[in-house]
Amino acid sequence: MQSKKPYESLELDVYITKINQCAFAFCSNLTSITIPDSVTSIGELAFYGCENLTSVYISNIVAWCNISFGNYYSNPLCYAKNLYINNELVTKLVIPKTVTAIKNYAFIYCSNLTSVVIPNSVASIGGLAFYACDNLTIYCEAESQPSGWVFNWNASNRPVVWGYKAEE
């Protein structure tokens, strides 16, 4: 019987609130990671060099939107590209009305994301939040870009539909 490589699939403890700088840097065997709702910050380069990472699992999109990512390589999506909520691959996302902010790099490189609906409750969106989401169309309830959204929130210039009204 062949033994499993260390850290191939990692589920972090629900009591973890912070992932330190370079915590998983160059973990080349890491293919999937589960980030608990308790995590509020991920340090710089935490997932740098995790070239084989393919899946990020979460259970709460509200908690995910509130994570402070230290930089581009702090978000495991930079390599994984696939976000799962409750074990379902996210392709169409409706941000809950309880979300008021989407932090920097929140959905960077999430290539399977094809649509996201952003409610009026979102007063701020950080830099590169949807960078390199190549198949994405963004639907915003706001009539135009709110002042709290940084200039490069949509740095890849994905299509945006302003004044979107969701079907009730």
pLDDT digits (tens, 9 = 90+) for 103-142: 999 999 999 999 999 999 999 999 999 999 999 999 999 9
pLDDT of res. 166: 79
- Whether 1 has a pLDDT exceeding 90, the answer reads no
Alpha-carbon gap, residue 114 to 99, rounded angstroms: 20
Distance CA 78, CA 25 (A): 12
CA dist., res. 60 & res. 33, Å (int): 15
Q: What is the pLDDT of residues 73-112, one digit of tens each?
A: 999 999 999 999 999 999 999 999 999 999 999 999 999 9
Report CA-CA distances (Å) from 40 to 49, 51, 63: 22, 24, 8
The pLDDT, as a whole number, for residue 167 is: 73
Q: How far apart are CA 52 and CA 61, in angstroms?
A: 24
Q: What is the pTM of this model?
A: 0.92
Could you give the 3-state DSSP secondary structure of residue 152? coil
Neighbours of 159 (CB within 10 A): 10
3-class secondary-structure state, position 7? coil
Maximum distance among all Cα pairs of the chain, rounded to whole angstroms: 59
